[in-house]
Amino acid sequence: MHDVEIAVVGHGLAGSVAALALARSGRKVALIGPTKSGNDERTTALMDQSIRFMDRLGLWQQIAPSSAGLQVMQIIDGTDRLLRAPPAQFRAAELGLSAFGYNIPNRALSEVLESAVAAEANIRRMDTTVEKAEPANDKVTLTLGDGESIDVALAIGADGRNSILRNGAGIDVKKWAYPQSAVVLNFSHEIPHGNVSTEFHTETGPFTQVPLPGRRSSLVWVVTPETAERLLALPLDQLSLEVERRMQSVLGKVEVEPGAQSWPLSSLMAKRFGKGRIALVGEAAHAFPPIGAQGLNLSLRDVMTLVDLVGDADGRDIAADTGDRFERRRRPDIMTRTFGVDLLNRSLLSDFLPMQLVRAGGLHLLTGISPLRNLLMREGVEPGRGFRDLLQTFKPSFKRKSA
């Protein structure tokens, strides 16, 4: 396999996009990992920056028919606490966008990526595991589950929370758990959603409805593990009533579809995101609760950075310090998002009155001060965008003063 420059280990969404992006930039790529089995009923909300990236890769036209736009995102305090936050609503039109992003079933996303990988001449698909990773100054040697070994100039770990690549690079990880589980399901409803996503904040975590095509939506309902077990044991008609009650019937009658699942909530952050000839993306580098549509969007920004560092080959060798440069580039974004999601989640769980006051006061400011709301919305769509736009706003006044 002398023609392979880069190995992407992990055949999930992040790994498949990484392999495609690097292959289409001219690199020879091996995508290594066993084919996924089972049905993933979850959905993924990709923000505008991620959608534009998927479009540049030529994937968006195939994905779009399965997606629904997120034109309005609103937050409703569904707690019974003394200090409650006011409703907050965010409209994509305020940013000149038709939608903040689009919600896509993971199954549809996987099918499009699988077809694109199979058709890509610069990708060698290897349906096996990686048993061992041995980095050196000039290469990374991967020992595969089928007995083969390969040498590559760069190895990208997209192999999840128990990453073999991360272990091979000697990178430690910080993990922490929450007393929560996420119940994930899809449902149909009587009243059209109008491309509005509603997040109810509850004492156990967020209850987030996100539009799907037609009169359907996906739901992530964060509850205690005991409640999750009870909900999944209910007949569908009773579970539907529970969902409708928690939603305050804003979408009318609800019918939950078969296939509800639950997932324990925890977070993970690698001590480094790259080292030498190894770079970590997706849940090999960072993982946190499904709050604020951050997970895959953060992973796609990992991939965008890799393309900046090693894409557009033009005969250039891959530098021995690529992983270290990747680490420096990604650290601010990953740490900001990880700790931001952690803080928001803990603020929902806290009965501490000052914490409730801060959360309620923050939402009051967002609803009342439109420049602050716009800054937050732009940062949510694309990190750094809000501050860049703010600087552009002040540039004319700076020029007049200097003149």
Residue ranges of domains in the chain, CATH in brackets:
6-61+106-175+266-345 (3.50.50.60), 69-104+179-264 (3.30.9.10)
Q: Do 344 and 289 meet the contact criterion of CB atoms below 8 Å apart?
A: no
pLDDT classification of 403: cutoffs 50, 70, 90: very low
Q: Do 46 and 104 meet the contact criterion of CB atoms below 8 Å apart?
A: yes
Structure confidence at residue 316 (pLDDT): 81
pLDDT classification of 341: cutoffs 50, 70, 90: confident
* Residue 369: HSE in the Cβ half-sphere, 13 Å Cα cutoff: 10
- CA-to-CA separations, 59 to 9, 71, 382, in angstroms, rounded: 21, 21, 20
pLDDT classification of 315: cutoffs 50, 70, 90: low
Whether the model clears a pTM of 0.95, i.e. scores above it, the answer is no
Higher pLDDT, 205 or 401: 205
pLDDT classification of 353: cutoffs 50, 70, 90: very low
At which residue do the structure tokens 């950075």 appear?
305
pLDDT classification of 177: cutoffs 50, 70, 90: very high
At position 24, the amino acid (one-letter code) is R
Q: What is the mean pLDDT of residues 217-242?
A: 97
Q: What is the mean pLDDT of residues 371-385?
A: 66
- Using the predicted structure, report yes or no on whether residue 240 has a pLDDT greater than 50: yes
Q: Which of 38-47, 271-280, 315-324 has the lowest mean pLDDT?
A: 38-47
Q: What's the mean per-residue pLDDT of the chain?
A: 87
pLDDT-above-70 percentage for the chain: 82
Structure confidence at residue 223 (pLDDT): 94
Higher pLDDT, 374 or 181: 181
Q: What is the DSSP string of 26-49?
A: T--EEEE-PPP-S----EEEEEHH
Structure confidence at residue 87 (pLDDT): 76
pLDDT-above-90 percentage for the chain: 68
What is the rounded CA–CA span in Å between residue 326 and residue 313? 17
pLDDT classification of 327: cutoffs 50, 70, 90: very high
- Using the predicted structure, report yes or no on whether residue 115 has a pLDDT greater than 80: yes
At which residue do the structure tokens 């009965």 appear?
351
User: Residue 281 is encoded by which pair of tokens?
Assistant: 């993306």
Q: What is the mean pLDDT of residues 180-192?
A: 96
Q: What is the mean pLDDT of residues 378-398?
A: 58
71 backbone dihedrals φ, ψ, rounded to 5°: -85, -30
- Using the predicted structure, report yes or no on whether residue 191 has a pLDDT greater than 50: yes
User: Residue 212 is encoded by which pair of tokens?
Assistant: 């799907």
Structure confidence at residue 388 (pLDDT): 54
pLDDT in tens, 252-304: 999 999 999 999 999 999 999 999 999 999 999 999 887 666 789 999 999 99
Residue 127 region, left (φ>0) first, then alpha (ψ -120 to 50), else beta?
beta
DSSP 66: G
Q: What angle do CA 376, 380, 381 make, to 5 degrees?
A: 120
Higher pLDDT, 185 or 316: 185
Q: What is the mean pLDDT of residues 319-332?
A: 97
Terminal-residue alpha carbon distance, the chain: 62
Q: What is the mean pLDDT of residues 177-201?
A: 94
Structure confidence at residue 99 (pLDDT): 95
- Using the predicted structure, report yes or no on whether residue 116 has a pLDDT greater than 60: yes
Q: Which of 33-37, 316-320, 362-366 has the lowest mean pLDDT?
A: 362-366
In sequence order, what are the residues at sequence separation of 6 or more whose Cβ sits closer than 8 angstroms to the Cβ of residue 193? 68, 209, 211, 215, 217, 251
Structure confidence at residue 36 (pLDDT): 77
What is the rounded CA–CA span in Å between residue 312 and residue 263? 39
Q: What is the DSSP string of 103-150?
A: EEEHHHHHHHHHHHHHH-TTEEEE-S-EEEEEE-SS-EEEEETTS-EE
What is the rounded CA–CA span in Å between residue 263 and residue 183? 7
Structure confidence at residue 243 (pLDDT): 97
Q: What is the largest CA-CA distance in the chain?
A: 72
